[in-house]
Structure 1
Amino acid sequence: MLVAPHVSAAAARNTQAAPCLHHRPAGPDFRTYEGGAAYAREPREELFLLAVGNFVTQQTFYESGRERDARYTRLVRELAVEDPVWTAGLLRWLRGEGNMRTASLVGAAAYVRARLEAGASGGPSNRSVIDSVLQRADEPGELLAHWTSEYGRNVPQPVKRGIADAVRRLYSSRSLLKYDTASKGFRFGDVLNLVHASPDPDKPWQGAIFRYALDRRHHPEQALPPASDRLLTAHRALMALSVDERRAVVTGPDGAERLAAAGMTWEAVAGRLQGPMDAAVWEAVIPSMGPMALVRNLRNFDEAGVPDEVAAQVAARISGAAEVARSRQFPFRYLAAHQHAPSARWAEALERALGHSLANVPALPGRTLILVDRSDSMFWDTVSERSTLTRADAAAVFGAALALRAEQADLVEFGGSSAQVPFQAGEPVLDVLKRFHSLGGTDTTKAVRKHYKGQDRVLIVTDEQAVYYGPRGPAEPVPAEIPVYTWNLAGYQPAHGPAGPHRHTFGGLTDAAFRMVGLIEAGREAAWPWTAGPADPVAATAPPDGAGAASSP
C-alpha cells in the first residue's frame, strides 16, 4: 500500500485522491529506536502502517503490546473524528483484504466511542462501521466482549444495531455448531438477548435458529434443534451416542459422510472422542477440513501415521491455486508450516502453496536492488504472538520472491554489515531462504551506499529502525530521480527517512503492497486500497444509526 506521495498533511486531510504525506522532521529529540535521525509520519500513514504491521497485544523489540495498542486506539479515535471516511475505509479493508481480524474489531469500537463522545455525525454511520468489520459468526460476540471490557456494560444503540445487521448475515445452523461453544464469553444467545436482532426476511429458517440458540444458552437440557434442520438433527443424533459408538461411526465406511452431514469440525471430533486422533479418525475428518486447518495439522497427520495416499490428497488440496487464494492466508503461514512439518512429503506442496500466495509480487523490469533487513530486532520480533516465525524470515520471503521474478536483481541482506545473497532464476523461494544470515545492527545507509550501482529502483524490506544521522535518510546515496520503496514490517512510529517524489513507504505482511510498485512506475495514481471505488460504499448501503431498529427474535 502506497503511503507517501508528496502532499501536505493539511491538503491530504481534505482530499480522497491522494494517500499522504510528508514525513516531517520532528526535532533533535525524535529519533529511531537505534538513535538515528527520524521523521514523524502523518497520522493516517502512521495508523495504516501500525494497523497492517501489528497484531493486537503483540510485544515487539522496541514497544510493548500495551504501548502499541494504546497508540493504535489513540490514532483511530483522532482520525474517526477528523477523517471518518478514510478511517471507516481502513477498518473495512483491514477485515477484508487486509485479513486483520482483531485490529479491525478493536478499531471499530474505538471509532464509535470517539465519535459518540465528540458528538460527530458526518461520514459513515457508526452502525455501518460496526457491521462492516464483522465477517465471521463468532465476531459479534467478540466485539461485545471487547466493548464491555473496555467501555462498560452500557452498549450504545449504534453498536447494537450494527451487530444485529451482522447477526442476520452470519448466524446459521452451521455457524452455530462451529462457533456457539461454551468457551465463548458471549454465546449466540447472549448476543441475541443484547442486540435484539430480528430474523432476515429472506431467510425463513433463521427464526428457528435464533430460538434454538437462545434455548442452548438458557435451557440447554431442554434445547431441541428445529426438526426441519437436517444438519442440527444429524449433529444431535451423533452426539447422543456413547463415546465407543461415536468412534465406531467415525471410523466406519461412511464416517466422512456422517461427520460432514453432522457439521463436525476436527476440533469438535477431537474433543468428543475422548481418545487419540489416530490415522483412521483423521482419514474421516480430513475431507471436511479447510485448507489452513490441513496446513496446521500436518505434523499431527505424520504422528498419527496417515497413509501416503491420504497425504497425497492433502498435499494436492493445500497446494491448489484456488484453495490458496480462498484461504486468504499470509504467505509466512506456509513458511512456518514448512519449518515445522516433520516429513519431506509436505515440502513440495508447501513450496507450491507459498508460490501461489505470492502471486501479486510483480515481475519488475530493468535492474532492481533489493535490501532485506536481518538485524537483531527483526529476529526478536515474530510476525504474531502465536507464531515462531520472525520478521526477518518474513522479509526474506518477499525479498527472495521479488528477486526471483525481477528481470535483473541484486538481492542483499544487511544489518551491521551486508552481503549479496546468491540465487538462480527458477529455483524455489525456500531454497534461497537458507542463504540468509543474522547480521547484528541496522546500518541501512552503509548497505545502500555499498550496493547501489545505478539500478533502476531500490526496495528495502525492514522495520526502519536504522542507525543514521544524515538529513535525507538511508536512501541518500541514491539519486533523487530513482524510486526507493521502503516496505515496513513493524509499524513503528519513527520513519527512517523523508517521503516525497520517488520515495514511497508500504506496509503489511502480505504481497498486496507490491501491486502498487507497477502502478507507480506506469504513471498511474496510487491511492489507498479502499478508495478505488465509491468514497463510502458501506454508508451507501447500510441504514443510518437510528433507522430500521431491530426487534427481538
Structure 2
Amino acid sequence: MKFNSKAELLNFEGGRSYRPRPELELFLRVASNFVREPKFYVGADEDLEELLKAFERAIKANPEFVAKLIVYAREELFLRSLPTLGTIILANHGTYKGTGIPRKVGERVLTRPDMLTEALAMQFALFGKPIPNSLKKALRSAITHFDSYQLAKYRCDRCQVKLKDVILLTHPKPRDKAQEGDFRALIEGKLKNTRTWEAKVSTEGSTRETWEEILDEFIRYKQVFALLRNLRNLIEHEVDGEKFRKAMKILADPKEMRRAKVYPYRYLTAYFTLKRMKVDSATQAEMRNVAIKVLREALEKSTAMLPDFKGRNLVLVDVSGSMDFPVSRRSAVTRMMISAFYSAIVAKKYETAIAAFASDYRWIPAGESIFETAENVLRSNVGYATYAYKPMAEVLRKREHFDRVFVLTDMVVYSEDYGDDAFQRTVRRYRKTVNPEMRLITWDLAGYGQVYLEEHDVRNVYIGGFTEKVFDLVKHLEKGNRIVEVINERVSI
C-alpha cells in the first residue's frame, strides 16, 4: 500500500487536491457547517448528502471519534444544527445501539429548546418513525432544564414540529409543580412569550420606554448576542445613559463573549453596522462612539486569552469570489469577512505579515485595531480567482523566513493552468530551500471535503470553525496534524 500518494483529485476549479482520511474529512465538513445551507460551489441538498456520506465513512472507521466530534462541535465550536444532526445520526445508527452513547451525546448537545424541535424535525425528515429510545431519553432529559421564559420563547407554534410535540412524544417528568404547569400551558397553547425584545416591540411599540425595558432584560440576563444585534436600536432611541454603560461593560468582557457562545466575528458585523449608521443628534453620536470603542476593547482583551506561539507568521487571506458568499441564507456575513477578521486577530496577537490573495495579491498594513486591519483586507480588491501560489512565490523568491503560514480559505486553490499544483510545488520548494520545519496551517472555512497538501506530512495542519477556540486547537496541533488524537483527548463521553 502506498502512503506517499500523488494528488488524485481535482477541486471545483481544476486545482490538484487530496482525499483525506474519513476522520479528517468529517472534521473539516463539520467545523464550518450550518446544515442545509448553500455554499458557493454546491447547493444545500448536495452538501447535506455529502455530509451524511462523510458521517457514514467516519463511523465505519472510528465510531468513538465521531461521537466525541459531535460534542466538540457544540461545546468548542458553538455550532447548533450540526451537533443536532450528529445526535440524530448516532441515535439511528446500528453501531451505537445499546451503547448509551447517543443519549449521552444528546444530553451534552441539546442545550436550547429550539434544538429539540430541530432534532425531531431532522428525525422525521431523515429517518421517520419510530423515534429511537436513546433520542427520546435525551429529549426527555433536555426539556426539563428550561424555564418558562425559554419554553415560551422557543415554543415554535408556526413550525411543523412544535415544542409541545417534544412533550407529547417523550412524556418528560417535570422537576417541580411550577414546571408541570409550564408544560401543561405549553400543550394548551397558553404559555405566551412576553419577555423577548421582539414580543415587547410588537406589543408595546418601538419607543424609548420599551427599549429601556428591553435593555433591563439584556443586562439582567447578560444577553450578549441580543445586545450586539440591537446596538443600533438602543442608540437610535437614546436609552438611559447609565443603563447603556452597564450594557457596554457586559460587551467589553471577553469572558462574557465565551460564556454566551457568541462567535467573535459578530463583533465585526456590529462594528460595521455602527460605522454605517447615520446619527441625528450629539447624544446618538456619543453613544455610537462609545459602543465602537467598547467593541474594539473587547476584542483587544480577547487576544490576551489566546495561546502563545513563538516565531514569525505569514497569513494568506483568501478574498476570492467564492469567499464572498454568505455563511447562511439569513446572514449577511461572508466567509471573506470571517477570514479577514481572524487574520486581523493573528496580526494583533503575533508577529505577523498578511497578504490578501485572489487573482493577484496585496500586502496588508496593520490598522490601529483589529477592525481596521480587517477592513484593510476587505478593501484589498485583488480579483476573483484563488491563486494562493502567488504570495507564496514572493516569499520564496525573497527567502523570507516564516515559522508558520496560515491560509484562511475555502481550500479551492488553483492556478491559470487546469490540473496544475502550483501552490503545492511552491510550498515544497519553500521548505526545501528556506525553512524545512515550516508549518502550513489551513483554516478551512467551507468544508468541501478535500485537502490540497498531503495529510500524512505532519507539517501540514488542517483546522476549521468560526470561533477563537480554533487557536487553542492550533496550539495542540503544533507537533503535527493529529486532530483525531486531540479531540479524543479534549472530549470525554
Q: Secondary structure at the match of 2:427?
A: coil
Find out whether 1:213 has 2:183 as its counterpart.
yes
> Using the alignment, how far apart are the partners of 1:214 and 1:78 within structure 2?
43
How big is each residue's C-alpha offset from its partner over 1:162-210, in whole Å with a ceiling of 9 and x where there is no partner? Answer: 2112223x233332233235234444432122112223xxx4x1x5523
How big is each residue's C-alpha offset from its partner over 1:90-112, in whole Å with a ceiling of 9 and x where there is no partner? Answer: 11111212111011111211222
Which of 393, 405, 421 is the matching residue for 1:470? 421
Find out whether 1:482 has 2:429 as its counterpart.
no
Q: CA deviation at 1:528?
A: 4.9
The 5 A counterparts of 1:155-194 are 155-168=131-144, 170-194=145-169
Q: Would the alpha carbon gap of residues 111 and 302 (structure 1) be closer, same or farther in structure 2, given more than 3 Å must change?
A: same
Say whether the 8 Å CA contact 1:188–1:213 is kept in structure 2: no
Say which is worse superposed, 60-69 or 383-392, in terms of deviation: 383-392
> Using the alignment, how far apart are the partners of 1:282 and 1:403 within structure 2?
38
Q: With structure 1 as the length reference, what TM-score do the two structures score?
A: 0.76
The 5 A counterparts of 1:4-153 are 25=6, 27=8, 30-113=9-92, 115-116=93-94, 121=97, 125-153=101-129
> Using the alignment, how far apart are the partners of 2:185 and 2:348 within structure 1?
57
Say whether the 8 Å CA contact 1:375–1:438 is kept in structure 2: no
Say whether the 8 Å CA contact 2:24–2:483 is kept in structure 1: no
Q: Would the alpha carbon gap of residues 282 and 69 (structure 1) be closer, same or farther in structure 2, given more than 3 Å must change?
A: same
Say whether the 8 Å CA contact 2:71–2:83 is kept in structure 1: yes
> Using the alignment, how far apart are the partners of 2:105 and 2:478 within structure 1?
34
**Matched residue type, 1:433:** A
Say whether the 8 Å CA contact 2:444–2:462 is kept in structure 1: yes
Gapped runs of 5+ residues in structure 1? 1-7, 10-21, 226-234, 240-262, 538-553
> Using the alignment, how far apart are the partners of 2:487 and 2:460 within structure 1?
22
The 5 A counterparts of 1:512-527 are 512-521=469-478
Q: Which has the higher contact order (CA 8 A, sep 6+)?
A: 1
> Using the alignment, how far apart are the partners of 2:208 and 2:183 within structure 1?
34
Residue of structure 2 in register with 1:365 after alignment:
310
Q: Would the alpha carbon gap of residues 491 and 23 (structure 1) be closer, same or farther in structure 2, given more than 3 Å must change?
A: farther
How big is each residue's C-alpha offset from its partner over 1:116-164, in whole Å with a ceiling of 9 and x where there is no partner? Answer: 3xx6547553333333321113322221122123322432222212211
Which of 423, 426, 450 is the matching residue for 1:494? 450
Q: CA deviation at 1:81?
A: 4.3
Q: CA deviation at 1:82?
A: 3.8
Which of 264, 267, 289 is the matching residue for 1:344? 289
**Matched residue type, 2:326:** T
Residue of structure 2 in register with 1:294 after alignment:
227
Q: CA deviation at 1:23?
A: 9.1
Q: Secondary structure at the match of 1:495?
A: coil
Residue of structure 2 in register with 1:264 after alignment:
195
Q: Secondary structure at the match of 1:439?
A: coil
Residue of structure 2 in register with 1:459 after alignment:
406
**Matched residue type, 2:429:** P
The 5 A counterparts of 1:225-244 are none
Q: Would the alpha carbon gap of residues 394 and 189 (structure 1) be closer, same or farther in structure 2, given more than 3 Å must change?
A: closer
Say whether the 8 Å CA contact 1:372–1:413 is kept in structure 2: yes
Q: CA deviation at 1:54?
A: 1.9
Find out whether 1:412 has 2:363 as its counterpart.
no
**Matched residue type, 1:166:** A
**Matched residue type, 2:254:** A
How big is each residue's C-alpha offset from its partner over 1:312-332, in whole Å with a ceiling of 9 and x where there is no partner? Answer: 333222122332222221111
Q: CA deviation at 1:49?
A: 0.9
> Using the alignment, how far apart are the partners of 1:198 and 1:303 within structure 2?
45
How big is each residue's C-alpha offset from its partner over 1:58-111, in whole Å with a ceiling of 9 and x where there is no partner? Answer: 211111111111111222233334422111111111121211101111121122
Q: Secondary structure at the match of 1:94?
A: helix
Q: Would the alpha carbon gap of residues 103 and 357 (structure 1) be closer, same or farther in structure 2, given more than 3 Å must change?
A: farther
Q: Would the alpha carbon gap of residues 411 and 34 (structure 1) be closer, same or farther in structure 2, given more than 3 Å must change?
A: same
Q: CA deviation at 1:283?
A: 0.9
Aligned length: 461
> Using the alignment, how far apart are the partners of 1:528 and 1:318 within structure 2?
35
How big is each residue's C-alpha offset from its partner over 1:247-281, in whole Å with a ceiling of 9 and x where there is no partner? Answer: xxxxxxxxxxxxxxxx72222212332xx211111
> Using the alignment, how far apart are the partners of 1:94 and 1:38 within structure 2?
25
Q: Would the alpha carbon gap of residues 477 and 389 (structure 1) be closer, same or farther in structure 2, given more than 3 Å must change?
A: farther
Q: Would the alpha carbon gap of residues 139 and 523 (structure 1) be closer, same or farther in structure 2, given more than 3 Å must change?
A: closer
Say whether the 8 Å CA contact 1:189–1:210 is kept in structure 2: no
Say whether the 8 Å CA contact 1:376–1:438 is kept in structure 2: no
> Using the alignment, how far apart are the partners of 1:173 and 1:467 within structure 2?
53
**Matched residue type, 1:183:** R
Q: Would the alpha carbon gap of residues 523 and 181 (structure 1) be closer, same or farther in structure 2, given more than 3 Å must change?
A: closer
**Matched residue type, 1:532:** E
**Matched residue type, 1:320:** D
**Matched residue type, 1:484:** L
> Using the alignment, how far apart are the partners of 1:123 and 1:451 within structure 2?
52
Say which is worse superposed, 135-144 or 308-317, in terms of deviation: 308-317
> Using the alignment, how far apart are the partners of 2:66 and 2:483 within structure 1?
18
**Matched residue type, 1:438:** N
Which of 181, 189, 197 is the matching residue for 2:172? 197
Say whether the 8 Å CA contact 1:192–1:214 is kept in structure 2: no
Q: Would the alpha carbon gap of residues 360 and 74 (structure 1) be closer, same or farther in structure 2, given more than 3 Å must change?
A: farther
**Matched residue type, 2:34:** F
Identity of aligned residues (%): 26
> Using the alignment, how far apart are the partners of 2:446 and 2:211 within structure 1?
38
Say which is worse superposed, 149-158 or 60-69, in terms of deviation: 149-158
Gapped runs of 5+ residues in structure 2? 278-287
Q: Secondary structure at the match of 1:485?
A: strand
Q: Find the structure with the greater CA-based Rg.
A: 1
- Say what the alpha-carbon RMSD is for the aligned residues: 2.8
Q: Would the alpha carbon gap of residues 24 and 120 (structure 1) be closer, same or farther in structure 2, given more than 3 Å must change?
A: farther
Q: Would the alpha carbon gap of residues 314 and 121 (structure 1) be closer, same or farther in structure 2, given more than 3 Å must change?
A: closer
**Matched residue type, 2:146:** Y
How big is each residue's C-alpha offset from its partner over 1:482-537, in whole Å with a ceiling of 9 and x where there is no partner? Answer: 22211111111222222212111111112222224434447997655542257x42
